[in-house]
Structure formats: C-alpha cells, structure tokens
C-alpha cells in the first residue's frame, strides 16, 4: 500500500487526541449530569427511560459509523487511495461496539418496559443484523493474510453490506408489521420534550467526540502498522 502520509501528520493526530480526550470527558460529564439529574422522568416509564440517553446516541452513531465505513469503501473504489481502506478498517470495530452497546442497553431498557429482555421488534432485529454486518467485515479482513488483498476485498464487502442495509430495514419492517401489530413503540410521546432533547443532543455530541477520538487513535495505529509493514517488505 502506498500511503502518502508524513510522520508529521501522524504526530498531529496524536496531539489532537489529547484535546479530544479531555473534550470528550467534559461533554460526557455535562451530558450525564443533565440526563441523569436535570431532565424530568418519563410520565409512564419513570426513571428507567433515562437509559435512552445512552441507547439512542449509540444506535444513531452505529448507523452513522457504517455510513462512514461504506463511504470510505466507495471512496477507495473512486480514488484508489489506500488510506480510505484504513479509515474503514479503523471505524469498523468502533461501529460494532456501538451497535453492541445499543443492543445491550436496548435489551436492558426492554426489561422494565416490556417485561422481557428481548422482543423481536423491527428496530432491535435490524440492529442485530447490522452487528453481524460489522462482524463479517472485520472477520473477512482478519482472515486474509495478504494485507493489500484483504483491504481491497473487504472494501467490496463493506459496500455489499451497505446496499443490504436498506433492504434489510425494509424487509424486517415488513416482517414486523406482518407478525406483530405495532403495539410497542418505545418513545411513548411522538414529540420529545425539550427537557429531554437537550441532554440527548449533548450525549450524542459526547458519543460523537468519543467516536472521533477512538477512531483517530485506531487510524494512527493502522497507518503506523502499514508503514512498518512496508519497511519490512523493502
């Protein structure tokens, strides 16, 4: 892989990370203060719905990460610059972790709300499949020993997965309406109260910063890895 990234640029990433980490922590502290203490409890679900402030941002960002992953795979096909494959590779485990967080918190939230840990709700099921799409991408990359081939092949899988997401969403929704009348909806009120929206947005910002920080750390490691690999081949 022919990476055109200077060592200076790598150092910038490291320096930026120091600021990002503190900013992330700060946003999380503010966000958690607002969501756990300031925002009012839900009039039906009580305090148990506060998990929404963890659950919803991770669900949003897990989809966002996959979009980034697929976008960088497409960018690789267009520009043939290997950095895009490294971006996709770096964001995949973070996205998978976010999906897992969304699934676990969703399930914890489900226990007091629905009385069971898991229901075959359309959104939960789609998220579960998304998790396996991430997993397939990561595992495929890992199982091909030639790094260059691995990056190019995984890029194809990333795009196939992305094409599949709306299809899965559509079919799972369709399946859900067929098998269960839409009796369960998580957010009891259609329009969300402003006192809940603000902490939710702060938490989303916190998650976003967290995502960027982790992503940059991972990307930096990947770039250095590739550089070492190239040196050892020459």
- Interface contacts to another protein, rule CB under 8 A: 1-2, 129, 132-133, 135-136, 139-140, 143-146, 148-150, 152-153, 156-157, 160-161, 163-164, 167-168, 170-172, 174-175, 178, 230, 233-234
The three-class DSSP label of residue 172 is: helix
Q: How far is the CB of 9 from another protein (least distance, A)?
A: 18
Q: What residues does 46 pair with on adjacent strands?
A: 42
CB 86 within 8 A of CB 72: no
Of 226, 62, 225, 85, give the one whose Cα is nearest residue 155: 85
Q: How far is the CB of 93 from another protein (least distance, A)?
A: 15
In the bound state with another protein, the residue whose beta carbon lies nearer, of 116 and 233, is 233
In the bound state with another protein, the residue whose beta carbon lies nearer, of 140 and 212, is 140
Residue showing tokens 């550089």: 227
Of 115, 100, 93, 98, give the one whose Cα is nearest residue 48: 115
In the bound state with another protein, the residue whose beta carbon lies nearer, of 25 and 153, is 153
In the bound state with another protein, the residue whose beta carbon lies nearer, of 145 and 191, is 145
Q: How far is the CB of 146 from another protein (least distance, A)?
A: 6
Q: How far is the CB of 10 from another protein (least distance, A)?
A: 18
Cα 67 to Cα 64, 145, 161, distances in angstroms: 5, 26, 10
The DSSP call for residue 41 is P
In the bound state with another protein, the residue whose beta carbon lies nearer, of 178 and 194, is 178
Q: How far is the CB of 188 from another protein (least distance, A)?
A: 28
Q: How far is the CB of 220 from another protein (least distance, A)?
A: 21
In sequence order, the 6+-apart residues with CB closer than 8 A to the CB of 19 are none
The runs of H, that is alpha helices, within 180-193 are none
Phi, psi of 46 (to 5 degrees): 70, -145
In the bound state with another protein, the residue whose beta carbon lies nearer, of 143 and 195, is 143
Hey, how many other C-beta atoms are within 10 angstroms of the C-beta on 26? 12
Distance CA 129, CA 11 (A): 37
């Amino acid at each position: 892989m022919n990476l055109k990234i200077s060592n200076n640029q790598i150092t910038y990433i490291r320096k930026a990370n120091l600021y990002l980490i503190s900013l992330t922590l700060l946003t999380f502290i503010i966000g958690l203060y607002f969501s756990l203490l300031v925002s009012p409890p839900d009039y039906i679900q009580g305090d148990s719905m506060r998990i929404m402030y963890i659950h919803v941002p991770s669900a949003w960002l897990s989809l966002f990460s996959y979009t980034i992953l697929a976008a960088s795979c497409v960018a690789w096909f267009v520009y043939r610059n290997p950095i895009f494959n490294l971006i996709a590779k770096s964001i995949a485990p973070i996205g998978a972790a976010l999906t897992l967080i969304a699934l676990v918190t969703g399930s914890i939230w489900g226990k007091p709300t629905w009385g069971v840990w898991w229901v075959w709700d359309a959104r939960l099921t789609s998220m579960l499949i998304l998790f396996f799409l991430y997993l397939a991408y990561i595992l495929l990359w890992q199982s091909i020993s030639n790094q260059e081939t691995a990056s190019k092949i995984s890029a194809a899988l990333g795009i196939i997965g992305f094409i599949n997401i709306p299809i899965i969403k559509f079919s799972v929704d369709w399946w859900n309406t067929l098998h269960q009348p839409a009796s369960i909806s998580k957010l009891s009120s259609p329009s969300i109260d402003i006192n809940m929206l603000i902490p939710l947005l702060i938490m989303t910002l916190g998650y976003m910063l967290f995502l960027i920080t982790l992503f940059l750390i991972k990307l930096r490691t990947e770039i250095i890895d590739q550089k070492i690999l190239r040196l050892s081949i020459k």
